Amino acid sequence: MSAQQPLHGTVAACWTTAAGWRGVLITGAPGAGKSDLALRLTGRGWRLVADDYAHVVASGGALYAIAPETIAGRMEARGVGVLTACARGLTRLSLTVELTDGKVERLPEAESRTFDGVSLQLLRLNGFEASAVEKVAAALARL
């Protein structure tokens, strides 16, 4: 693995019987709802990997994420403060989610985002929609 500068984004992971732990990298502009979406995912049994920044590295054709030591196990909940979260360490990434406040295509063409030479499927959505958690889970299940 090669070390990189921390990537601005939040990572949450869920356990699947077929593939073990699978991580989702959530990106977007400041205030787009990255931490808010991760908080709702953890409320559904997911684990926080990193909030706000993550070290993302490529190894063996896959991408892995881990929180910088200074923020591991903590996340910010806007209006509440910094919370302790049920956290997970190094996790393989399976999907990237880009949060937007713009219009989201009803039936988008498949897209991917490449990090350090490794591509991940990309899902664009509004993170504040009530269905955002279910959309992330459904997209991950399709991989």
- pLDDT exceeds 60 at position 1: no
Residue 63 in domain? yes
Tokens 């039936």 label which residue?
107
Domain coverage including residue 69 = 7-141
Residue 86 in domain? yes
Residue 67 in domain? yes
CATH at residue 80 = 3.40.50.300
- How does the average pLDDT of the chain come out, rounded? 92
Cα–Cα distance between 109 and 106 in angstroms, integer?
Answer: 10
Residue 137 in domain? yes
Structural domain count of the chain: 1
State pTM to two decimals.
0.92
Residue 75: C-alpha distances to residues 10, 39, 40, 91, 123 (Å) = 9, 8, 12, 17, 23
pLDDT digits (tens, 9 = 90+) for 13-67: 999 988 999 999 999 999 999 999 999 999 999 999 999 999 999 999 999 999 9
Residue 2 in domain? no
Q: What is the mean pLDDT of residues 76-85?
A: 90
Residue 43 in domain? yes
What pLDDT, on a 0 to 100 scale, did the predictor assign at position 4? 60
Give the residues across from 54 on adjacent strands. 7
Residue 12 in domain? yes
Choice between 102 and 80, residue whose per-residue pLDDT is larger = 80
One-letter amino acid of 84:
T
Q: Which of 96, 47, 54, 90 is nearest to 71 (CA)?
A: 54
